[in-house]
Amino acid sequence: MLATAPTVSRRDFEQGTGWTFKPEGACKGDVCIPLKKQPGESIELSAIAAEMGLPLVSEPNHQLWAVGPESIGSKALVSAEAPSLVLPDLDGNLFDLKKLLGKKVLIYAWAPY
Amino acid sequence: MWQVLREELAPKGFELVTVGLDTLGAAGCRPFIEAAAPKHPSLIDSTHQLANKFGVINIPQAVWIDENGLIVRPAEVAPAPPQPNSRIRLPADPGQMPSRFVEMMGEAVKIRQEGETYHVALRDWVEKGAKSVYAMTPEQVIARSRPRSVDVALGHAHFELASVLEHKGVHDLAVKHFKEAHRLVPDSWTFRRQAWSLEKVIDGPMQRFWQGPDPEKLEAWPYAGDWLADIRKVGAVNYNEPWQP
């Protein structure tokens, strides 16, 4: 996930990383990473990234922080539950993959280069 | 043909979602999407979220998701759809074509395509759902997903940062982070092709396909590899991993 400040709201962190804070810790699917204490409304990226084992790369001069994905189990997926995916179409309208629940979906990646 | 297949399968509760991976966003994808005029959701992913979230490392790749939102096949090679009509037209006379493009096309034709098997599998899944032999269990899906070490995860963070730096016009710094991403995620073709496609080596409509150094100014090329050198290194036949049921 990308951030423009070293701290983000709890909601932005959850939406950006796909990890949700629960009493058990930070969870995705059936997997939970225990946390020393429940985070508040404001999440300090360097602290949470270190505690969860997520990579963090930044360019503070350009107000940019990037939290990378997890590498739990040494696999790209920790759960078969499809992650949240919200992307714009050509006109900038956001499309939420959740709208297609109830259908079989094939997500096809292509590139114009 | 993807659109034809989508029309065939849509009445059976199937939907196709195409996602263009491009740092240049809508500007980069527009001619291709407009030419294809899709009826299905056609989305744009300017920071390669599909890499982070699903492990997409090459194109074309696809992920299957069932009615309950469960992945039943992780990111894997998917046969290319027919080229949209707007696809860059090469000069009718190959003699006018720069030799690099002639060499690139010579390699591209060797890239493995296994469309027929793949579409048989897709139709079977749309028909039979979880009973299809091609639908994996959650455990199989996780096990079949891309390997991801701590280094690979770090490389993804560098790539995401590079994408936004490029948006902001800080190209040199973007290149630095793209290079880190390439070093840390050496098996991602999309991370490399994306970065190479942003280098303006030639002018004109083929600019993004050059993907390599100017033969007159080799030292100006910022990256360790380029399309032609890298594909020759691995062998074009190995560009796509073989599709496994």
Predicted confidence (pLDDT) per residue in A45-60, tens digit: 999 999 999 999 999 9
For chains A and B, count residue pairs whose Cβ atoms are closer than 8 Å: 229
Q: How many residues does chain B have?
A: 245
Confirm or reject contact between B208 and chain A (CB < 8 A). yes
What is the C-alpha separation between B121 and B183, in angstroms, rounded?
Answer: 35
Q: Report yes or no on A10 lying in a domain.
A: yes
Q: What is the number of domains present in chain B? A: 2
Q: Using CA coordinates, name the residue in chain A closest to B160.
A: A66
Q: Are B140 and B154 in a shared domain? A: no
Q: Nearest-CA distance from A19 to chain B in Å?
A: 12
For the stretch B3-55, pLDDT in tens is 889 999 999 999 999 999 999 999 999 999 999 999 999 999 999 999 999 99
Mean pLDDT of B223-235: 96
For residue B222, the SS3 value is coil
Q: Specify whether B139 is located in the same domain as B155.
A: no
| Predicted confidence band of residue B83 (pLDDT cuts 50, 70, 90) | very low
Is A57 a domain residue? yes
- A41-70 residues touching B, CB cutoff 8 A: 53-59, 62, 64, 66-70
User: Residue A53's domain spans which residues?
Assistant: 2-71
Rounded to an integer, what distance in angstroms lies between the CA atom of residue A104 and that of residue B131? Answer: 14
**Number of folded domains that form chain A:** 1
Residues B172 and B139 grouped into a single domain: no
Does a structural domain hold residue A25?
yes
**pLDDT recorded at residue B134:** 98
Can you tell me the mean pLDDT for B74-85? Answer: 70
Cβ-defined contact of B15 to A109 (cutoff 8 Å)? no
In angstroms, rounded to a whole number, what is the distance separating the alpha carbons of residues A68 and A49?
9
Same domain for B123 and B175, yes or no, is no
Specify if B31 maps to a domain: yes
Q: How is residue B94 annotated by DSSP?
A: G
Which chain A residues contact residue B74 at CB under 8 A?
Answer: 76-77
Please state the rounded mean pLDDT for residues B197-203: 97
Judge whether residue B220 has pLDDT over 60.
Answer: yes
Query: Is A105 domain-assigned?
Result: no
Looking at the fold, whether B136 and B57 belong to one and the same domain comes out as yes
Beta bridge partners of B20: A110, B44
What's the gap in Å between the CA of B178 and the closest CA on chain A? 12
The whole-angstrom separation of Cα A44 and Cα A65 is 11
| Domain identity same for B134 and B165 | no
The alpha-carbon gap from A39 to the nearest alpha carbon of chain B, in Å, equals 22
Percent of chain B with pLDDT over 70: 93
How far off is chain A from B207, nearest CA to CA, in Å? 9
* Integer Cα distance of B217 and B223 in angstroms: 13
- Token representation of residue B211: 């993907």
Specify whether B134 is located in the same domain as B155: no
Quickly list H helices, chain B: 2-9, 25-36, 49-54, 99-108, 115-128, 138-144, 150-167, 171-184, 189-197, 207-210, 227-234
Distance between B108 CA and the closest CA of chain A, angstroms: 13
Does any domain span residue B210?
A: yes
Residue B106 lies in a domain: no
Q: pTM of whole model > 0.90?
A: yes
Task: Using the predicted structure, report yes or no on whether residue B115 has a pLDDT greater than 80.
Answer: no
Task: Provide the chain A residues 75-104 that lie in CB contact (below 8 A) with chain B.
Answer: 75-83, 85, 87-90, 92, 95, 97-98, 100-104
Between CA B121 and CA A56 the distance in angstroms is 39
- Using a CB-CB cut-off of 8 Å, the residues of chain B touching A110 are 18-21, 32, 59-60, 81
Residue type, A105: V
Say yes or no: B154 and B140 in one domain.
Answer: no
Residue of chain A nearest B30, judged by CA positions = A90
Q: Is residue B48 part of a domain?
A: yes
Pair of tokens at residue B126: 């749309």
B120 with B233, same domain: the answer is: no
The gap from C-alpha B13 to its chain's centroid, in whole angstroms, comes to 26
Domain span at B190: 150-238
Q: Are the beta carbons of B155 and B187 closer than 8 angstroms? A: no
What is the C-alpha to C-alpha distance for residues B126 and B137, in angstroms, rounded to an integer? 16
Q: Which two tokens stand for residue B237?
A: 């036949």
